Structure 1
Amino acid sequence: MKRPMEGVRIVEVAQYTFVPASGGVLAEWGAEVIKIEHAVRGDAQRGLVKLLGLDVVPTTSFFPIMEGPNRGKRSVGIALEVPEGRALLDELIRSADVFVTNFLPGAREKLRINVDDVRVVNPDIIYVRGTGFGARGEDAGKGGYDGTAFWGRGGSADGVTPGGADRPARMPSGAYGDSMGGLTIAGGIAAALYARKVTGEPSVVDVSLLGLGAWATQYSVNQALLVGGPLPKVEEPRHGSSSNPLAGSFRTADGRWLLLVMLQPTRYWPEFCERMGRPELVTDPRFAGDAVLEHGAEGGDIVAEIIGGITLDEWCRRMEGAQGQWALVQNAYEVGMDPALRENGFITKVVDADGVERELVANPVQFDETPVRSRRAPQFAEHTDDVLRDLGKSEEEIIDLKLLGAVT
């Protein structure tokens, strides 16, 4: 299968996960992605030691927080503040289709990587900015992470925090909004490449974490705009909902949580009761037909009692082939081992720099029913010499550039 982005070259001047994750996606789709890292420090994310309270210091060459967003790239260490290094960037830009960055306006100005600077070198290049709060307005120069711009300011933290809580809920995973942002940027780049092919005009593509956060919570935001104020915190019953006993979280006898989302209780109640060995509940006046909608909380307590009396294995046996929608609440390892992910090729294998086979979550887009092929992320500045040779530099010129401090 020809991967759809084969033949596309992307130059990336970006750090952390938001924006770099787009390059990881596009590399899996076939693009050549050249990652420009600071000649001494590299991507700042390489220096992280903790994330959400967990140690992330690598004990091998395989560093998951770098592997995820940087899979399949080539890394070049260039000192953009050194004239000779900046000239090398121009050479790479000249042959590229796309330039991506998440540097703040001040840094872009200083390093001369704003739109006009890049377009002077390559007028046809697609220019991509990932920002915290957008490219315009008083917050355009303000830095942001997904924990601030996407999760907090974008509405997700409030949306998942119960009323009366003593603190807002935190993100469920490191780089949570960043990873979604990378996929969003990749889609924007694909659209811009298509537009350039059709019209001949290159685009400037902007994606912000705040905009992404608002998009993710758009139902609530749209509803709040409609009513003209904040939405109330709805206090649902402990089990089920006020109008549906088959919607909510329920715990099995062996302590596993199930999420039931059977949004048509009149349809699914009879099936549930039969499978749980409680057929009398089907004709119970409280729950027969539309009456179930009036006794959601009461029915939810009964459902909780039923589920609480059986193990997860027994639940799965009884619900095999059932029409009602439910899911097990899985931890991160269980997600990685999920049969549906593996059977569909969404867990991909890579060989790390030590020759050890590892696994990564693949991006969720497939073409022609074919799982993506992925490669490990580069070590810091791993491909500097190779890329310089591709630019036609001799061994003597490469040594001179290193002595000048222009490259790693």
Structure 2
Amino acid sequence: MENTPLLEGLHVVDIASFIAGPAAATILGDYGADVVKVEPPHTGDSYRGLSRMPPNPQVEGVNYPWQLDNRNKRSIELNLKSSDARSVLERLVRWADVLVTNFPPRTRAKLGLDYDDLSSVNPRLIYADVTGFGEEGPDAHLPGFDVTAFWARSGLMDFTRQRDAAPAINVFGSGDHPTAITLFAGIMTALYRREKTGQGARVSASLIAEGAWAAGMWLQAALLGGKPPRPVERSDPPNALANVYRTADDRWILLAFANEGKEVPLFLEAIGHPEAVEDPRFHDTVSRRAHAAEIVTLLDKRFATRPLAEWREVLDAAGLTYGVVQTLEECAHDPQLLANQIVVPIEDGSSEPHLTLNSPVHLDQEQKVPPRPAPDLGEHNEEVLSELGFSTDDIASLRTGGAIPS
């Protein structure tokens, strides 16, 4: 059918926790895959409680991170440590096209969840795992969060600060979500391979690899013996025309002049100082770099004379390249997000549904499944178990054996 979602009929088992792995499964669900999330009984995925941890914002009545990364899924509770759970797991694996996990290597081995364990049950299985620090090496067994493995370990945290300032914590999940895109890409590549070979595959991603890729331009220089720059001091940067400036209303503008030969004269005229073109400090790239601190002092005084809105009019009229350092509140209401369906309404039956972030992969020729509310813990226990062929008596036996909650 013309309106059939692209991945309808694809079965996904999500036994991962927190963000990167589950978010990859969410993207599959956005394109119509049937995603079953497997969670520990009673407590569920620990991510369910993350929004209560400072400094996360508090939103009354809405578990917003859970909704973002677990929409369009079904939830079952399964105690993977119980011997009785093995029959459920193996039926899930036979049912699945894709299985997503983020258990550390030692835990996977202890629970019998390694690729070799599960591919023997289903040779066509796409087994996707994400770790903090990769599968090999002295730190492979360590737990890794995006703030430790992506942000701190990669060197990004060291550089993204002012010189002599302490490293800063980034927005939670800022490394997990791009890692989820990488895992999604790997899963789709493996599915394409399966179409050609008929065989399943193992896909892996890690937060440390994603962080290294994000820092790749300057990390590549370090690999070749280059010395990456140290954190920049705003008042004495390498380039005063790739710097931030405070406006009269305490907002920040980022100048980003890639074509200085063209943009500098336009900029100086726009800010009301066309005569500065004749100033030796602005003469050419070498002079501007040599006198960067002096230029910053001049521009600081000039930008402090007008509010952000006026500067935007001035810079836009001159056709200059710049950015506004938006707050998260401003980004949430940015018209570009609505115009490009970066935010979309949750299909929850309400007259005024909340908006949620869309996954950033789009195909013009395919429609995504509208985002539905994320599941309650164990909401689909009986439904999924019945679909897997367990009878009422079987389900009662699983409860007695501790595989699923009573």
Report if TM-score (shorter chain) is over 0.5: yes
Q: Which residue of 2 aligns with 1:277?
A: 272
Identity of aligned residues (%): 35
The verdict on how the C-alpha distance between 1:266 and 1:29 changes in structure 2, with shifts beyond 3 A counting, is: same
Does 2:310 align with 1:314?
yes
Any stretches of 5+ residues in structure 1 without a counterpart? Answer: none
The 10-residue stretch of structure 1 (130-139 or 273-282) with the greater mean CA deviation from structure 2: 273-282
Q: Which residue of 2 aligns with 1:7?
A: 9
Does 2:191 align with 1:193?
yes
Q: Which residue of 2 aligns with 1:407?
A: 404
Aligned residues: 401
The Cα shift of 1:344 comes to: 0.4
TM-score (norm 2): 0.90
Q: Deviations over 1:60-89 (max 9, x none)?
A: 2x3112122212111111122223322112
Q: Which residue of 1 aligns with 2:371?
A: 374
What residue identity is the alignment partner of 2:307?
Answer: T
The verdict on how the C-alpha distance between 1:237 and 1:382 changes in structure 2, with shifts beyond 3 A counting, is: closer
| Distance in 2 between residues matched to 1:139 and 1:2, nearest whole Å | 44
The verdict on how the C-alpha distance between 1:368 and 1:248 changes in structure 2, with shifts beyond 3 A counting, is: same
Q: Which residue of 2 aligns with 1:343?
A: 339
- Verify the 8 A CA contact 2:162 2:233 in the aligned structure 1: no
What residue identity is the alignment partner of 1:377?
Answer: A
Q: Secondary structure at the match of 1:26?
A: helix
Q: Deviations over 1:368-391 (max 9, x none)?
A: 077743222111111112212222
Any stretches of 5+ residues in structure 2 without a counterpart? Answer: none
Q: Which residue of 2 aligns with 1:26?
A: 28
Does 2:131 align with 1:141?
no
The verdict on how the C-alpha distance between 1:355 and 1:385 changes in structure 2, with shifts beyond 3 A counting, is: farther
| Distance in 2 between residues matched to 1:76 and 1:355, nearest whole Å | 29
Which of 245, 248, 256 is residue 250 of structure 1 equivalent to?
Answer: 245
| Distance in 2 between residues matched to 1:50 and 1:220, nearest whole Å | 36
| Distance in 2 between residues matched to 1:107 and 1:289, nearest whole Å | 59
What residue identity is the alignment partner of 1:393?
Answer: F
The Cα shift of 1:356 comes to: 6.7
- Within 5 Å, which residues of 2 pair with 1:125-204? 125-165=125-165, 167-171=166-170, 173-204=171-202
Q: Which residue of 1 aligns with 2:387?
A: 390
| Distance in 2 between residues matched to 1:261 and 1:168, nearest whole Å | 24
Q: Which residue of 1 aligns with 2:38?
A: 36
| Distance in 2 between residues matched to 1:72 and 1:371, nearest whole Å | 15
The Cα shift of 1:223 comes to: 1.1
The verdict on how the C-alpha distance between 1:247 and 1:194 changes in structure 2, with shifts beyond 3 A counting, is: same
Q: Deviations over 1:124-160 (max 9, x none)?
A: 1011111111111222222111121111112111121
The 10-residue stretch of structure 1 (1-10 or 104-113) with the greater mean CA deviation from structure 2: 1-10
Q: Deviations over 1:281-340 (max 9, x none)?
A: 334444346555554443333332222111111112222354321111111111111111
- Verify the 8 A CA contact 1:345 1:371 in the aligned structure 2: no
Q: Secondary structure at the match of 2:175?
A: helix
What residue identity is the alignment partner of 2:389?
Answer: G
- Verify the 8 A CA contact 1:344 1:371 in the aligned structure 2: no
- Verify the 8 A CA contact 1:245 1:265 in the aligned structure 2: no
| Distance in 1 between residues matched to 2:399 and 2:350, nearest whole Å | 26
TM-score (norm 1): 0.90
What residue identity is the alignment partner of 1:262?
Answer: F
| Distance in 2 between residues matched to 1:37 and 1:222, nearest whole Å | 40
| Distance in 1 between residues matched to 2:340 and 2:87, nearest whole Å | 44
